[in-house]
Amino acid sequence: MIDFVIAQVQNLEDAASVEAQTLDSVILGEQFYFFTVVLMWLIHAGFMTYEAGVVRRKNVMATAMKNILTIAVVTPSFYYFGWWIYNCNQPGLPIGPNSTDFTAVACQGGIPWSDAFGPNLTNNINLIFFLAFLLFSWTTASIMSGALLERVRLSAYLVLAVLLGSAVWILDAAWGWSAGGWLTLRFGFHDSIASGVVHGVAGAFTLGVLFNLGPRIGKYTREGLARQFRPQNLHGTLLGLMLIFTGFYAFYGACLVISSTAFPGWANIYLSPTTLGSISMVITFGFAGGFTGGYFAARGDPFWTVSGGLAGVIGVSAGADVYAPSVAYLLSAATAALAVYAGNWIEKKMRVDDVVGAVAVHGFSGFLGMLWVGIFAAGYPTGLNNVDSSIGGQLMGMATFLPLGFLSGWVSSLILKKLNLLRVPPEVELEGLDVAEYEEDLYMPESAKLGEMMVEPDGSLVPAEGVLREAEREVVR
């Protein structure tokens, strides 16, 4: 009996040792990121549901398949070069694993043939942290996906998704969303939960693509007034957004660095201290303010009310590690309201056909979120050099990310357009992508009898067939 008690005491002493604590904290971190990865799948399920709901019935399956196949192309490309871009390009120029730069150790874990980039008994974190970033990459590519619906080719989208999801966003993340990024080290750039790094850049990239892709047939009258296509399932769209919102909590959590043996146990991506509760409060108040701002700015429109929640959260993400809840509430309401106006301006004045308002909700709100930090979260030491966050640093980040995102999207889509590989033929667009891509109408024939309807600029509901036939003749002949 006495031997048993002594053994138990010895076990307790062993468990309390520094080595055991360190191992425990590593495994705790591994588990934490694992569950954020699982929950972030909801974002992707949400994007699919959301986009499949917002399109017309004839494009549902093509839309859903586009979302699913994002995973098929972004996953390997992010593994083969995305993680290298993040880990080996933080100083601004590529470095090697033998560089004297302090990010060289991270760089070792980012090259595909590193022994830390596969099953390794002494490294629990690299793979699971990679997976968290991979889910960010899926999200970034999916942001673009919704804007291009109903006329982009699947293969063109997949090429653009690889470029955005595995190269463009992760390059700006290396520069401005890492402890060793040059924007952070030199300018104190602060974007803790990726307002601009993910959303802003994805929105800018998308805008560049939309300029080359052009609007859907029949979207605008000859006078340039915007028509509205009726979504085939608005409930699905709203459900999709709710799934995205749920997954966003995991996205937020995965943006933190967990370090249970160091006070206070959590740090933002720049390794500055914060807590999980802090960012959770901000995201929750961001939704509250965003819904409110969206509702009033859009006069109760359901689509923009719920999208306002997303815009609101994106607007406060950059400073989510330090914002007071009231600041988050007010800023998110303002961001959402401004995003509604921006969305309407983009559609009606710029005549850019962004099916889900991604440029406004993600791009505009993301850049606004970066700006808010320069005003409402200035003076916080950021990055390993402890440079204070400031309006100048934020503007430097914005001035870097805007051309990076926009030009890469515009140039790549222009090349695809010149090769006649960007957009489906007008006949296919009119008939619906499902029939062309999957060779059958996947819905019950009875539902087709309802016919396709659309809303004219004066608000009248009309059968779409005549309008679209006339618009097609202008395009084809």
Partner 1 sequence: MALLIDSSPDCIISKEGATPADDSVDFILQARYEDCAGIMTFGPGSTYGDEGAAADTGYYIVTWLGITFMVVTLIMWMAYENRQLIGHVGRIRGRDGGPPPQPGGVGGEV
Comparing CB distances to partner 1, the nearer of 77 and 292 is: 77
Query: Which letter does DSSP use for residue 451 in this model?
Result: -
Selected binder of partner 1 within 121, 277, 299, 460 (CB under 8 A)? 121
DSSP annotation of 12: H
Contact region with partner 1 (CB under 8 A), list: 148-156, 197-205, 259-267, 299-307: 148-156
Interacting positions 427-466 with partner 1 (CB under 8 A): 427-428, 431, 435-437
One of 44, 56, 58, 153 touching partner 1 (CB under 8 A): 153
Distance CA 460, CA 409 (A): 36
Contact between 381 and partner 1 per CB under 8 A = no
Beta-sheet strand order (sheet of 228-229)? 228-229, 453-455, 461-463
SS3 303: helix
Question: Measured from the CB atom, is 159 or 320 closer to partner 1?
Answer: 159
Kindly indicate which of the ranges 107-115, 137-145, 241-249, 337-345 contains the residues binding partner 1, using the contact rule CB under 8 A. Answer: 107-115
Residue 445 to residue 462: CA distance in whole angstroms = 21
- DSSP characters for 243-254? HHHHHHHHHHHH
Confirm or reject binding of residue 300 to partner 1 (CB under 8 A). Answer: no
Phi-psi region of 109 (alpha: psi -120 to 50; beta: other; left: phi over 0): alpha
Is 57 a binder of partner 1 (CB under 8 A)?
Answer: no
Burial of 197 (0-12, 13-18, 19+ CB in 10 A): buried
**If you search the block for the tokens 């995991």, which residue do you land on?**
250
The residue range among 146-154, 231-239, 287-295, 299-307 that interacts with partner 1, by the rule CB under 8 A, is: 146-154
Candidates 80, 102, 341, 345: give the one binding partner 1 (CB under 8 A). 80
Considering the rule CB under 8 A, would residue 158 count as an interface residue with partner 1?
yes
360 binds partner 1 (CB under 8 A): no
Over the window 171 to 210, marking each residue x when it contacts partner 1 by CB under 8 A and - when it does not, the resulting string is: ----------------------------------------
Which residues are within 8 A (CB) of 178 and not within 5 positions of it... i.e. 6 or more apart? 86, 90, 103, 184, 269, 270
- Considering the rule CB under 8 A, would residue 102 count as an interface residue with partner 1? no
Sequential DSSP letters for 53-97: HHS-GGGHHHHHHHHHHHHHHHHHHIIIIIHHHHHH-TTSS---T
Contact region with partner 1 (CB under 8 A), list: 75-83, 129-137, 179-187, 189-197? 75-83
Report which DSSP code applies to 216: P
Does residue 116 interact with partner 1 by CB under 8 A? yes
Calpha distance 378→285 (Å, rounded) = 20
Q: Which is nearer to partner 1, 120 or 386 (CB)?
A: 120
The answer to the question of residue 28 lying near partner 1 (CB under 8 A) is no
Tell me which residues touch partner 1 (CB under 8 A): 73, 76-77, 80, 96-98, 105, 108-109, 111-116, 118-123, 151, 153-156, 158-159, 162, 214-215, 217, 417, 420-428, 431, 435-437, 475-476
